[in-house]
Amino acid sequence: MDKTINNKAWFLVLPVFLLVAFSAILPLMTVVNYSMQDTFGNNQFFWNGVGWFKELLDPSTDLGGRFLASLGRNLIFSLAILAIEVPLGIVVALSMPRAGWTVAFCLVVLALPLLIPWNVVGTIWQIFGRPDIGLLGYTLTSMGIDYNYVSNDLDAWFTVIIMDVWHWTSLVALLCYAGLKSIPDAYYQAAQIDGASRWAVFTAIQLPKMHRVLLIAVLLRFMDSFMIYTEPFVVTGGGPGNSTTFISIELVKIALGQFDLGKAAALSLVYNLIILIVCWVFYTIMTNAGAERRPTEGGA
């Protein structure tokens, strides 16, 4: 802890920094500039100060209401998929074989959804859920369930969540499987000698050993679901009404639909800040969780 860090090696990052300046920093500066002004096109800008931010953070205005509503929907969506994908991923990882040709088979099958592009996933589920030609929609309708993701809010949410679970549970499962594989057999043998139950093995050995990969899985899934755009856009287009309009969809509507660059810039900066804070918190927890455990592991 007392050792000083030689920071000079950071200068080697300068070429990348220059590249990032063009691809990210200059555009971000432009967004900050836009957020302070109003425009009517043709590069004519008018100073508006923090006006857009005031509107954005006031729930009684149109912009503020839309922002808070879509933020709420996004948080509910992220929590819902985390609540499903994390336990499901753990269960899938635990039930996977540990040796033999079935391991490769399971890994390939699990990896398949991860390889499909977002818009294709959206299209698959858009057709899959249709009551007239889609297998899911047709089956549910035949069973007497009134399912229509185009007109019913709950059905739209059900479809979007199930789609995300189908697409990304594999990632959680693969990460957990990697965590499980890293546990030496000695742990299981010790547990067997002690006569530990299956549940005790899970809570005392497997779960603590999966701690780090689970944190990574939660971070990745939270960030990805918080920034989700393509899949719900393709399946529901944000509808019915605004029921599945998440922040990124709202942002695109404001920026490219209404061409309100100032409002969209203010929204995207606040959106960016939220993501930055969450990322930092997760990253700090992750790096420190490892640092705290290292001495005990070394001493054991």
* Residues found near other proteins in the complex (CB under 8 A): 1-8, 10-11, 26, 29-30, 32-34, 36-37, 39, 43, 45, 47, 49-50, 53-54, 57-58, 270, 273, 276-277, 280, 284, 288, 291
Min dist CB 284 to other proteins, Å, is 6
Burial environment of residue 244 by CB neighbours within 10 A (0 to 12, 13 to 18, 19 or more) = buried
Which residue type occupies 45? F
Cβ atoms 147, 140 nearer than 8 A: yes
Q: Which is nearer to other proteins, 192 or 258 (by Cβ)?
A: 258
Cα(274)–Cα(280) distance, rounded to whole angstroms? Answer: 10
Cα(279)–Cα(196) distance, rounded to whole angstroms? Answer: 38
Min dist CB 35 to other proteins, Å, is 9
Q: Which is nearer to other proteins, 1 or 143 (by Cβ)?
A: 1
Q: Which is nearer to other proteins, 49 or 298 (by Cβ)?
A: 49
Q: Tokens at residue 90, please?
A: 């753990």
Cα(229)–Cα(249) distance, rounded to whole angstroms? Answer: 6
Cβ atoms 252, 267 nearer than 8 A: no
Q: Which is nearer to other proteins, 47 or 199 (by Cβ)?
A: 47
Q: Which is nearer to other proteins, 2 or 185 (by Cβ)?
A: 2
Which residue type occupies 231? E
What residue spans of 196-260 are helical by DSSP H? Answer: 198-201, 207-226, 230-235, 247-252
Min dist CB 269 to other proteins, Å, is 9
Min dist CB 300 to other proteins, Å, is 23
Min dist CB 21 to other proteins, Å, is 11
